[in-house]
Structure 1
Amino acid sequence: MNLEKILAISGKPGLYVLKVQTRTGFVAESLADGKKITVSLKSNVSLLSEISVYTYDGEKPLKEVMSNIAEKENNGPAISHKEDNTALAAYFKEVLPTYDEERVYASDIKKILNWYNTLQAKGLIEAETAVEEEVEAVAAEVEAPAEKPKKAKKVTE
């Protein structure tokens, strides 16, 4: 899962993909409807790859949290972000048992689940284990020496 070019823009609903950088800002495309918008440098913009979730052990990158959700749901959709707060907190506790319940609010959980479901609907979610298995399979193919074809022997009569 690559969150490098996925943006959350303050004051704008949904997620956006960074398309082009300009002198005065950048152009982003909405994941919801595909419309392109221009965003000035004054706007409050967050890259999803830079967002972390507070845990009792420190901070966990959003990518890891979304990977945990993908593993739990077998790359399927998560529960709706419109569920009641106690159900959302219980679900998030299953996904990230060490999250800091005092610093991670229900609104944060709703936002993360909404983002996850948006990305999942667009096919941009993949569990880390699936990716790691593919990488290991390719690495094994590269490391295994290919058998050299045997030279044909000349037959003399």
Structure 2
Amino acid sequence: MNLQGIVAVSGKPGLWKALAQNKNGYVLESLDALKTKLVANLSTAKLAALSEITIFGVDDDIKLTDVFEQMKSAASIPDAKADGKKLREFFFEVAPDHDEEKVYASDMKKVIAWYQLLKDLPLFNELDPTVAPVEAAAPAVEASVAVEEVAEPASAAAPKAKAKKAPAKKA
């Protein structure tokens, strides 16, 4: 999932896409149907990139992208306005290691609302460009290991030459 450039702005509902940057902040466009534009001043607004957001976990924090991936395969997703008990049950399905004391119902509602906004967008099903595909990376590693094994015996047989320093000339 490619969430690069998607941000949440403090004090503003919904999600925003970063279009451009100027000296004072960012030009943002809402992801809803209205496509409203906003200039977020960095001195007054706080921006949080969705690809960097984590949820409190019992042992380690859980990446929001991992929760979204689990939500894709979930049987049914409750409405963001459902009661806290239903939301908590759902969150135990998609993020079983979340910390019950630190993750509030309002946080769960926000995550579900964000998912509802993102799920129909094409970028939600794209691969993240910052993460290399696992299938393509594995053969490259094996090939480099094979090359190193062939090159190693040849370098071990060749004697190593020591570089001699020329004596410094006095002026």
Q: What interval of TM-score do these two structures reach, taking the shorter chain for normalisation?
A: 0.7 to 0.9
Aligned counterparts of 2:29 and 2:92: Cα–Cα separation in 1: 33
Aligned counterparts of 2:25 and 2:126: Cα–Cα separation in 1: 33
Cα distance change of structure 1 residues 123 and 108 upon mapping to structure 2, 3 Å threshold: same
User: What one-letter code is carried by the residue in structure 2 that aligns with 1:60?
Assistant: I
Aligned counterparts of 2:51 and 2:99: Cα–Cα separation in 1: 20
Q: Select the structure that is richer in strand.
A: 1
Structure 1 stretches of 4+ moved >2 Å = 121-128
Aligned counterparts of 1:4 and 1:117: Cα–Cα separation in 2: 18
Cα distance change of structure 1 residues 127 and 21 upon mapping to structure 2, 3 Å threshold: closer
Partner of 2:36: 35
User: Is residue 92–residue 109 contact of structure 1 (8 Å, CA) maintained in 2?
Assistant: yes
Share of identical aligned residues, percent? 39
Aligned counterparts of 2:120 and 2:81: Cα–Cα separation in 1: 17
Cα distance change of structure 1 residues 18 and 89 upon mapping to structure 2, 3 Å threshold: same
TM-score, length basis structure 1:
0.76
CA offset at residue 127 of structure 1?
9.3
User: What one-letter code is carried by the residue in structure 2 that aligns with 1:39?
Assistant: A
1:82 is aligned to 2:73: no
Partner of 1:111: 110
CA offset at residue 126 of structure 1?
3.3
Partner of 1:16: 16
The count of residues paired between Structure 1 and Structure 2 equals 133
TM-score, length basis structure 2:
0.70
User: Is residue 20–residue 27 contact of structure 1 (8 Å, CA) maintained in 2?
Assistant: yes
Partner of 1:64: 66
CA RMSD between the two structures: 2.4
Partner of 1:6: 6
What secondary structure, in the 3-state scheme, does the structure 1 residue paired with 2:12 have? coil
Question: Larger Rg: 1 or 2?
Answer: 2
**Structure 2: runs of 5+ lacking an equivalent:** 128-132, 141-171
User: What one-letter code is carried by the residue in structure 1 that aligns with 2:39?
Assistant: T
Partner of 1:46: 48
